[in-house]
Structure 1
């Protein structure tokens, strides 16, 4: 099919973000399941994503990698889903989408995965400053807003919601009430449940 999306993924990866947004926009897609260290590093796939990581999508002969970019791209490619930002939502949409993909994930990776926390002097050179500052920044927004852009769910919530939900589950994000409430809101969506069921089934049969 001309408008079909090809999703390169693995159920134990950030590919779950891409499947969720594909379900949200109701795209016609097929999933190519890649293996870590195997087909993910094969020459054929490296031509699509030289990083040898998932997710990646191919749509209309265009390649998109990175979870946040995939969410933003698909929201625009399938406007009928209504998940792209309205004019007055663009500022918060892009702000928190890129914040979560950049400073927040970097802070989580450094402090919670690598166990490296910079002192006050070195924090001035880090985009996220400190882990606590990164959490406080997003937390302060979600205390007063139901979703990333305010009161309406958008594609940015797929990415931000995924990061928060996973962080709460695996202990890399503090269990603050605003994070818990937000995660519960976004993961209650039918598209989220469909996507998780499909990836969970793949994990069972793997």
Structure 2
């Protein structure tokens, strides 16, 4: 059975298409009309009580949350290639930056934009400048997060970086821009962007 991704091209599900293209597995996209509130329909709330996309169904497995979907897919379909083996020391770095994106970059950037007042020592994402320095260190002097080896961590972390650069939610430091350009050259990302654009055009959406 093909993997099913509940999808809208203007949601985080667009990034999961990139994950699936990197894996080279068969998958079906099931369009969810966000403007009509279909993501809150009873049958989708059974799959994700948060009423949000993406939702990935792989046989009996249901996975939500973009980073979790990426880690699941890489372990299941690309262990040793897009996901380091459990006994590979690189797996520690892989997990670190995969989870850094949703737990530090996203809330840290929102906190900065909204001018939240908080003590950095009490927030899981710390202070903004430390976050940026950590990100720079992760992508400076190497092709990808694991050096010359591309992994699903680059899809999760790199997808967040590319999105935030596009919408000026992240300071366009040279290291981030160069890393984003390296990712943009990947054929799987180009295929994913084309597929997302096709879905948008089919449903009269403007990208």
Normalization by structure 2: what TM-score?
A: 0.91
For 2:29 and 2:121, locate their aligned partners in 1 and report how far apart those are by CA, in whole Å.
42
Q: After superposition, what is the alpha-carbon deviation per residue over 1:146-192, rounded to whole angstroms, capped at 9, x for unaligned?
A: 21122200011111111111111100111111101111111211110
How far apart, in 2, do the equivalents of 1:205 and 1:110 lie? 36
The answer as to 2:112 corresponding to 1:111 is yes
Residue pairs, 1:13-162, within 5 angstroms: 13-36=11-34, 38-79=37-78, 82-86=81-85, 87-112=88-113, 115-118=114-117, 122-162=119-159
1:135 to partner: Cα distance: 1.4
Gap runs ≥5 in structure 2: none
Q: 1-side partners of 2:50 and 2:128: how far apart?
A: 26
2-structure distance, mates of 1:198, 1:129: 37
2:124 is paired with a residue whose SS is coil
Tell me the TM-score normalized by structure 1: 0.92
Residue ranges of structure 1 left out of the alignment (5+ in a row): none
CA-atom RMSD, angstroms? 1.5
Superposed CA offset, 1:77-121 (max 9, x none): 112782111412111100111111201111112222xx12335xx
Partners of 2:100 and 2:157 within 8 A in 1: no
Q: Distance in 2 between matches of 1:39 and 1:165?
A: 28
Please state whether the residue corresponding to 2:6 is helix, strand or coil.
Answer: strand
Q: Secondary structure at the match of 1:124?
A: helix
Pairs aligned (count):
200
- 1-side partners of 2:139 and 2:20: how far apart? 25
SS of corresponding position for 1:77: helix
SS across alignment from 2:30? strand
Per-residue deviation, residues 46-72 of structure 1 (Å, max 9, x unmatched): 000111111110112101111111111
